[in-house]
């Protein structure tokens, strides 16, 4: 075709990679034609990515957005290089086609339809560094009031704070330690939630794969059903033709029998040719003898 059916923005899939965390990116498809265009998204690693939706219909001069989610990974790839690729197929469909009408056969290269394909690669980006160290990373921020108290106790100055002030500082220290312990517990408890989210995402991917396989099997079964119906129609036609041929054959046999019987009757009812000739010859001879 002279112009491309779809305009893809951006041209690559960019994911912010963090170990044991999901990452998503959005892709926008623009229809450059004046017709309805159907698209389908494929990937070399279907268990690693979740595409929602992976098929759709784009109206003329309209746009369509879909989201790709990379599942949580336990290990970072070497040098943050990813070899995964995506394939976006697009083709023109009749006016009024809906997403429920889409089948995998529409994007098959064996058909006579024009299928436009675009391959996109995956780029992994490291997350920006955090300016504040969290307690779960092992770095605790010391409270200023406790630091002042320790310095006063170690310096041995005469201006020792009253007992009430010391008790308040001690309470502040205990409160800070309790907050740190709560933060660490919260950080530890969040890990199972991340694992649960990862399991949920894996479950969603499995369900999507099962749904795709079910649609493929459904389309194959429909194709086989149509072929079986055609075969049944062909067999029915051949059977009818054979029956008609048998009836015509029997009719011809009956007609031959009737003709044969009529010929036999004609032969029996008439005189033989030899007999007629002999009678004529004898009649001539008798007439010649009578009238010399």
163-269 and 144-155 helices, crossing angle to 10°: 150
Instruction: Quote the pLDDT of residue 183.
Output: 41
Report yes or no: 84 and 44 within 8 Å, Cβ to Cβ.
Answer: yes
Cα–Cα distance measured from residue 213 to residue 22, given in angstroms and rounded to the nearest whole number: 25
Instruction: Quote the pLDDT of residue 137.
Output: 52
Tens-digit pLDDT profile for the chain (292 aa)? 667 899 999 999 999 999 999 999 999 999 999 999 999 999 999 999 999 999 999 999 999 999 999 999 999 999 889 999 999 999 999 998 999 999 988 898 877 889 999 999 999 999 887 665 555 555 555 444 444 544 554 454 344 444 444 444 444 444 444 444 334 333 333 344 445 565 666 677 788 889 888 888 888 998 888 899 989 989 999 999 999 899 989 999 899 989 988 876 665 555 667 878 888 889 888 888 887 6
Instruction: Quote the pLDDT of residue 12.
Output: 94
Instruction: Quote the pLDDT of residue 226.
Output: 85
Cα–Cα distance measured from residue 161 to residue 149, given in angstroms and rounded to the nearest whole number: 9
Instruction: Quote the pLDDT of residue 1.
Output: 62
CB-count burial class (<10 Å; 0-12, 13-18, 19+) for 103: middle
Cα–Cα distance measured from residue 140 to residue 176, given in angstroms and rounded to the nearest whole number: 10
Instruction: Quote the pLDDT of residue 109.
Output: 81
Each residue of 1-34: b (16+ CB within 10 Å) or e? eeeebbebeeeebebebeeeebbebebebbbebe
Long-range pairs for 258-262: beta carbons < 8 A, 24 or more residues apart = none
Instruction: Quote the pLDDT of residue 216.
Output: 85
Instruction: Quote the pLDDT of residue 271.
Output: 60
Helix (H) or strand (E) holding 3: none
């Amino acid at each position: 075709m002279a112009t491309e059916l779809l305009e893809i923005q951006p041209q690559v899939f960019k994911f912010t990679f963090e170990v044991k965390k999901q990452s998503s990116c959005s892709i926008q498809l623009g229809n450059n034609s004046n017709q309805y265009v159907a698209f389908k998204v494929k990937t070399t690693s279907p268990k690693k990515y979740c595409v929602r939706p992976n098929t759709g219909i784009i109206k003329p001069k309209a746009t369509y957005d879909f989201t790709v989610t990379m599942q949580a990974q336990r290990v970072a790839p070497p040098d943050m290089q990813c070899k995964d690729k995506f394939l976006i197929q697009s083709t023109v469909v009749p006016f009024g086609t809906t997403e429920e009408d889409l089948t995998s056969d529409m994007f098959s290269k064996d058909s006579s339809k024009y299928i436009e394909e675009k391959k996109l690669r995956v780029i992994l980006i490291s997350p920006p560094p955090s300016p504040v160290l969290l307690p779960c990373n092992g770095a605790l921020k010391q409270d200023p009031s406790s630091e002042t108290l320790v310095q006063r106790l170690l310096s041995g100055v005469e201006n020792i704070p009253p007992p009430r002030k010391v008790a308040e500082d001690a309470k502040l220290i205990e409160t800070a330690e309790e907050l740190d312990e709560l933060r660490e517990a919260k950080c530890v408890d969040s890990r199972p939630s991340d694992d649960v989210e990862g399991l949920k995402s894996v479950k969603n991917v499995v369900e999507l794969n099962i749904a795709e396989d079910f649609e493929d099997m459904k389309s194959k079964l429909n194709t086989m059903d149509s072929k079986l119906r055609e075969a049944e129609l062909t067999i029915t036609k051949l059977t009818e033709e054979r029956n008609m041929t048998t009836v015509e054959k029997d009719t011809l046999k009956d007609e031959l029998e009737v003709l044969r019987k009529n010929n036999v009757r004609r032969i029996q009812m008439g005189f033989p040719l030899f007999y007629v000739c002999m009678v004529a010859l004898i009649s001539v001879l008798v007439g010649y003898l009578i009238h010399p």
